[in-house]
Amino acid sequence: MDKITQRMKQIEILTIVLFMLILIFFIIYVINEHENIFLGMYKIITSPAILVTDFIHVGGIGAAFFNAILIFSFNFFLVKLFKVKITGITIAAFFTVFGFSFFGKNILNILPFYLGGILYSVYTSTDFSEHIVSIAFSSALAPFVSSIAFYGEISFETSYINAILIGVLIGFIVVPLAKSLYDFHEGYDLYNLGFTAGILGSVIIAVLKLYHFEITPQFLLSIEYDIPLKILCSSVFISLIIIGFYINDNSFSGYLSLIKDDGYKSDFTQKYGYGLTLINMGIMGFISIVFVMITGQTFNGPVLAALFTVVGFSANGKTIFNTLPILIGVLLASLGSKGSIFTLAISGLFGTALAPISGIFGPIAGIIAGWLHLAVVQNVGLVHGGLNLYNNGFSAGIVAGFLLPIFNMITDNNNQRKMNIQRKHMNFLKAVQTNIKKRMDEKENKENK
């Protein structure tokens, strides 16, 4: 067995271990609480799922975990079936979609997107395996399916058909849209599909409102499972570190190089290997827990989504060094603002999508990006009506697209100044050398005479 195959087997073992850990937590909790998870699942599936809908609050923690396990199993099955390579972005998709299974995505409202992705691959004569990751992320717009399916103004049959059609349409067009909109932020927003979903969702909601489709805002959060969720997350993150340590030949060797990475277009699995990547994911998980505790926010469904998203993208760009400035910027922006603790905690964690800005342009640029992100994210939700779960990804794309030309201008200007200074130094040295040579020639001529 070659080294790459061995590493892939180890990743599969890791996935199974983490899955079993979460499954054990789920079973123990359900047994202790005697929860009716099927009634809870019904409540979750029939929920509009718009921002902010915590499935732990809606259906109970047992049903929320059951929903997450179903979605995780579904995506794992697709990855195995279509032999998708486990890269950094694949891991990011796994963890992000799993996290949002507690916060907007259920096993039914994501299915139309995959159907749309299959139709797109057939239409373009491409392999569906090439699009699975993008389609998985596109379920950010899952609330469109739920909200339309259970819209009470028209018959159930018509609502369900409309919901499926709009989900299929989104899955069909999201891949070419994502490729095109990537150029706006040039990869400085790690959540490109969040930005794409924001644009697409804004257009769709505008069309729906034209025909008097109304959205009822809601804000549902659980508060009673703080300690159990902290214990679960800590267990998962320490498991990542331990398994990564084992895969990396029982060593942290090379981790310093990883955390110095700028995070721009960085697949850590390819650059540093799976072991160091998993170590980074676990450490970033604990940093995220500390940040949430600093804000004073209790753990709930949306917090789980944010935590697992950070951990997932710690395989594809996020490190300690390039995310801390973003978190500091968000904290500074909160001083004197009227935002809630919940908004601060969620925006800080999701705002680390801007990590490449910090990595490329430096910590000051990262602090500015984090500060601006908190301001923007609190207002862009109105554009898509709360139906884009990756609202922070949308905001991060706007912030990155706005700051990028400015930072490039400053960087180019600084580089030009350095080049001018270097040119002046070179000219001065040449003049000195010429002068010295001239004097030496004159002295030599006098001696010859």
Q: What is the per-residue pLDDT across 99-147, written as a single tens digit (0 to 9) for each?
A: 999 999 999 999 999 999 999 999 999 999 999 999 999 999 999 999 8
Dump pLDDT digits (tens) for 266-283. Answer: 999 999 999 999 999 999
Taking residues 396-418, what's their average pLDDT? Answer: 85
Dump pLDDT digits (tens) for 167-200. Answer: 999 999 999 999 999 999 999 999 999 999 999 9
Q: Is 181 helix (H, G, I), strand (E, B) or coil?
A: helix
DSSP labels for 216-273?
----B---TTHHHHHHHHHHHHHHHHHHHHHHTTS--TTHHHHHTS--TT--HHHHT-
| Whether the predicted pLDDT of 214 surpasses 70 | yes
pLDDT at position 382: 79
Q: Which stretch of 1-10, 70-79, 404-413 has the lowest confidence by average pLDDT?
A: 1-10
Taking residues 368-383, what's their average pLDDT? Answer: 92
Taking residues 47-69, what's their average pLDDT? Answer: 91
For the chain, the 3-state helix, strand and coil shares in percent, each to the nearest 5, are 75, 0, 20
Q: Which of 139, 138, 117, 135 is nearest to 126 (CA)?
A: 117
Q: What are φ and ψ of residue 173, in 5° steps?
A: -100, -5
pLDDT at position 31: 59
pLDDT at position 58: 94
Judge contact between 304 and 103, C-beta under 8 A: yes
pLDDT at position 400: 95
Residue 45 and residue 243: Cα distance in Å, rounded? 35
- For the chain, the average pLDDT equals 88
Q: Which of 312, 380, 328, 321 is nearest to 355 (CA)?
A: 321
pLDDT at position 30: 62
